[in-house]
Structure formats: C-alpha cells, structure tokens
Amino acid sequence: MNEATLLSKGYRKYEGENIDVYFNIDICQHSGNCVRGDNEVFDTERKPWIIPLKDHFQQIQDVINTCPSGALKYKLKDSDEILP
C-alpha cells in the first residue's frame, strides 16, 4: 500500500525526522498500547497527539507493531514501504 492509498482510506500523517506515523481513528480499538508503549510520542492530552520524536525512532516501530487494529502504521524516511 502506498501513502496516497493510505491517506485516501482515512489515515492522517504525522511527520517526523526519521519516521512518519499514520493513524486512522475510524479503525482504532482504543487498546492504549501506543500510549502505554511511549507516552512521549503518543499523548492524547496534546495536539497533535502523535509527535514522532527523532530519538524514539526504534521505540515507535515497536509500539506500532503492537497495535491490534492496524490503526497505526509507519514509514521510515529512507523507504517507500509502509509497515506493518
């Protein structure tokens, strides 16, 4: 899946220096894995609620890989592949 398709399906893009994060509220199951996994990046009390911090690059990938609904996805800046 490419970025244009992802955005057309309702995902919103949050740009970081090393990684971009995509989120779709319509499919989120609100499990809280993201907030519990890294509350400096994922903080529902602020706007924007996702800030892909440079030094959290690996942690962001690990947290997104635990998202049970697929509401969170990511793309590394040196790649065109959107994961997971």
Q: What percent of the chain has pLDDT over 90?
A: 95
- Asked whether residue 9 is assigned to any structural domain, the reply reads yes
pLDDT at 1 over 90: no
- The mean per-residue pLDDT over the stretch 6-29 comes to 97
CATH number, domain containing residue 37: 3.30.70.20
Q: What percent of the chain has pLDDT over 70?
A: 100
**Alpha carbon distance 84, 16 (integer Å):** 17
Give the pTM. 0.95
Let me know: does 75 contact 16? Beta carbons within 8 Å.
no
- Asked whether residue 83 is assigned to any structural domain, the reply reads no
Express each pLDDT in 61-82 by its tens digit: 999 999 999 999 999 999 999 9
